[in-house]
Amino acid sequence: MKADANQMKSMYEENGYLSAIHVLDQTEMEQASKQYEKLEQKFGKEYTQYNLHNIHMEHEWVMNLASHPNLLQAITAVLGPNVILLDSRFICKYSSTDVPHKEDIAPYVAWHQDIKYWGFEGGPVASVWLAFDDVDTENGVLQVIPGSHKQGILEHRIAEIPGNMLTANQEIPKHLVNVEDAVECPLKAGQMSIHDGLTVHASEPNLSDRRRCGFVIRYIPTIAYPIEDPERPRTFPATVLVAGTDEFQNFQNNTPNFFKKRF
């Protein structure tokens, strides 16, 4: 996607997502992939499927991804100039030959809205999927329902089909999802998609012989503030100001030392 900031903002506000935004060049992608492979070797692929949470606080190369100029150019276009990195996680759907499916249940992500799980108000959340692999229908591409962010928070319930990768194992009931309107967001390695926290989205199992790995990062404008909501319990131990200034100070400054010198 090639668009200026105004076009990005307009498209994002209308559809609730953007896709195929170029972030990393070939050299940057190769370097990041090598670093990720070290984590696979250290922890094992079964662990790295979903357990590399907020490691931008520990690894400078991960923080560099989350604050990459190309990425932040798009994020500030949709959220404004003052932005906090709220949370991050690597999500990796391996092929069944790399990580055998437990009880022959293929991991998938049920239809849901990200904001359902995040205890804050006062501003939106934008979720980035930065692709480490080419992503398509075969290996479980992200699917979104355009315009669904205008519906507000929908009902969620415990997922009926085993294998849901969501931590809370929730899903939006099928009768509330206009599946016929679903749009796929295929990506090349080094590209990213962005979707609003209210955008209804999901992804099918990886049925290919290829890995489908991505870096998921959540961003909020500094005007947002945390709340205590038993329906959305959440702590925010890894917040980092990545763009502009924070005049509100609603979230603790957890900027790692290796990043402070550059910001």
**15 band by pLDDT with thresholds 50, 70 and 90:** very high
* Cα separations in angstroms, 216 against 85, 112, 119, 141, 200: 11, 15, 18, 14, 16
pLDDT number for residue 102: 80
Q: What is the average per-residue pLDDT within 148-159?
A: 95
Please determine, for residue 135, whether its predicted confidence score (pLDDT) is greater than 90: yes
pTM of the model: 0.95
What percent of the chain stands above pLDDT 90? Answer: 83
Residue 24 is predicted with a pLDDT of: 98
Please give the pLDDT value at position 262. Answer: 64
Return the minimum-mean-pLDDT range out of 102-116, 174-188, 193-207.
Answer: 102-116
Mean pLDDT calculated for residue range 114-122: 90
Each residue of 223-263: pLDDT tens digit? 999 998 877 778 899 999 999 999 999 999 999 999 986 65
The pLDDT of residue 127 is: 97
% of the chain surpassing 70 pLDDT: 98
Look at residue 104 in the predicted model and tell me its pLDDT. Answer: 76
83 has a pLDDT exceeding 90? yes
Would you state the pLDDT for residue 261?
63
217 close to 128: Cβ distance less than 8 angstroms? yes
Q: Supply the CATH classification number for the domain 5-260.
A: 2.60.120.620
Average pLDDT (69-75) is: 98
For the chain, the average pLDDT equals 94
Determine the Cα angle at 181 with ends 218 and 94, to 5°. Answer: 50
Between 70-79, 83-92, 100-109, the lowest mean confidence (pLDDT) is in: 100-109
Q: Span 42-66, mean pLDDT?
A: 96
Alpha carbon distances (Å) from 214 to 9, 21, 36, 123, 181 = 23, 14, 10, 25, 24
| pLDDT the model gives residue 167 | 80
For helices 69-79 and 5-15, give the axis angle rounded to 10 degrees: 60
Q: Calculate the alpha carbon distances from 195 to 17, 106, 113, 125, 140 in Å.
A: 4, 24, 10, 9, 17
Contact predicate 168/50, CB 8 Å = no
Residue 109 has pLDDT above 80, yes or no: yes
Query: Is the model's pLDDT at 3 over the cut of 80?
Result: no
Q: What token pair was written down for 154?
A: 């929908």
Report whether pLDDT(1) > 70.
Answer: no
* Tens-digit pLDDT profile for residues 167-176: 888 999 999 9
Structure tokens at 134: 């080419």
pLDDT at 4: 87
